[in-house]
Structure 1
Amino acid sequence: MNLDFSQIAPSMPYILKGLQVTLQIVAVSALLGFALGTLLALCKIARIKALGFFADAYTSIFRGTPLVLQLMIIYYGFPQITGYDISAFLAAVIAFGLNSGAYMSEIIRAGIQAVDKGQTEASMALGVPYRKMMGDIIFPQALKNILPALMNEFISLTKESAVVTVIGAADLMRRAYIVGGETYSYFEPLLFVGLVYYLLVMILTLVGKAVERRLSKGD
């Protein structure tokens, strides 16, 4: 192996600037995905069949098609239909958020249904409104139970965000590819980016475990 990291050392700050883009995309997409996932989960457990059908169909479509396809449809396809261009950042946030929402909806639904039914029955017997019951009683308990699964989804989203390079967003992967083209050496910058992603995932894992321990102490 003929590896020479010295030739990409001057470009490492340039590559690391892409970390900000990556984190911004992941953070906004995760918030959008969580909000959408919560809404879809409530639709799935609702007594109105039309809402459940819509939520199940949505989940099936976004879980049954590749993320990169969804991203390219939003970035390249929507401008063709609407006549308006969309930025790479916005396209990434929309695609990742919609995709993540489908996965989170199943996690949140399972968490809500795992809460003891006695909690719901007691709340209804006491005349607690449905919205207040879900927001103050059921959902907090469900959130504690599904926290590890949500952290796994967040970590997966962090890694999957690398596909944004296909639409030219200046994230970690894109910058590593550019440096590789300039130096005619792709292995070193890609290996460096791989290390950055690995460290990022390890940090998120430790944060998730710390939050989980803190919630456990609150029992």
Structure 2
Amino acid sequence: MFQGLIDWLNRLGPRLYAAFLEGDRWQLYLQGLVTTLELTVCALIVGVALGVLVAVIRTAHDQQRPGHRNFALAILNVICKIYTTVIRGTPMLVQILIWGFVIFSSSRNKFMVGVVALGINSGAYVAEIVRGGLMSVDMGQSEAGRSLGLGYLDTMRFIVIPQAFKNILPSLGNEFITLFKDTSLVNTIGLAELTYRAARIAGNTFDYMPPYIGIAIMYLVVVIILTWLQGKMERRLRQSDRR
């Protein structure tokens, strides 16, 4: 038994060397990780901006007073509902393939395509997260802001959204972590992120175990760090509430 383990370890050394050290291949993993993080941040910015816009439109429509319906707002609300239904009802991989090989088939900027695909997908989920947070704030807060002479947008910006942010932070943090892991799907359109780099190295060495186990560990380490940062931010917000 021990001899078999020793033999396996002896065979593992050259495999690890070929996957990570030979030809400075570790630099390729780091480049892929940097691209993955940049893609995640850019897509999250797009997703949050789009999600907040959709959430505000849908919340404004749902909170209209009886007899004071806005036709333009109703049209925008229908568009937003179609958007969230289609995006949440179809697989992300299929969406990425459509963006990469149908809509932007002639584009060589794979990073931009990845940001658009992931950002629009994330926006649908962020919209529901933010909408739930906005609806959780008591209507009296909005009425108080309006009574002070604030417009709807100012009331949302200064009163409602800051309170809703504390409620949606855990879900928003989970969406960020999910988005980070889902960036691995954009390797299907040729973007050289972490998974793409590992696949190319595995193809060159004809050994798939070390590269894929290696990037799995890298993904796990980053997720652990992000989870720790999320928990730390949540504790600070709870402490500020006590004060």
TM-score, L = length of structure 1: 0.94
Q: 1:20-55: CA deviations, max 9, x gaps?
A: 110111000000000000000011112322222111
Distance 2:134 2:20 in 1: 49
Question: Structure 1: how far apart are the matches of 2:210 and 2:183?
Answer: 20
For 1:125 and 1:172, locate their aligned partners in 2 and report how far apart those are by CA, in whole Å.
52
Residue 16 (structure 1) shift: 1.8
Q: Which moved more, 1:201-210 or 1:66-75?
A: 66-75
| Native 8 Å contact 2:104 2:113 kept in 1 | no
Moved over 3 A (4+): 1-4
Equivalent residues, number:
216
Q: Deviations over 1:153-207 (max 9, x none)?
A: 0000000000011111111101101111111100110000000000010111011
Q: Who is 2:170 aligned against?
A: 148
Within the alignment, does 1:5 sit opposite 2:16 as a pair? yes
Tell me the residue number matched to 2:152: 130
CA-to-aligned-CA distance 1:119-149 (integer Å, 9 cap, x gap)? 1121222222111110000001101110000
Question: Which of 107, 110, 113 is the matching residue for 1:85?
Answer: 107
Alpha-carbon distance in 2 for matches of 1:87, 1:6? 33
- How does 1:69-218 map onto structure 2 within 5 Å? 69-79=94-104, 84-218=106-240
- Which stretches in structure 1 are left out of the alignment for 5+ residues? none
CA RMSD of aligned residues (A): 1.4
Could you tell me how far apart the structure 2 residues matched to 1:198 and 1:88 are? Answer: 25
State the alpha-carbon separation in 1 of the partners of residues 104 and 217 from structure 2.
36
Structure 2, unpaired ranges of 5+: 1-7, 62-72
Counterpart residue number, 2:75: 50
- Amino acid of the structure 2 residue aligned with 1:9: F
Deviation at 1:86, TM superposition (A): 4.3
Residue 86 of structure 2 is matched in structure 1 by: 61
Deviation at 1:118, TM superposition (A): 1.4
Contact preservation (8 Å) 1:40, 1:55: yes
Distance 1:44 1:19 in 2: 36
One-letter identity of the residue aligned with 1:126: L
Q: Amino acid of the residue matched to residue 82 of structure 2?
A: A
Match of 1:30 in 2: 44
* % identical aligned pairs: 38
Larger mean Cα displacement after TM superposition, 180-189 or 12-21: 12-21
- Structure 2 length normalisation: TM-score? 0.85
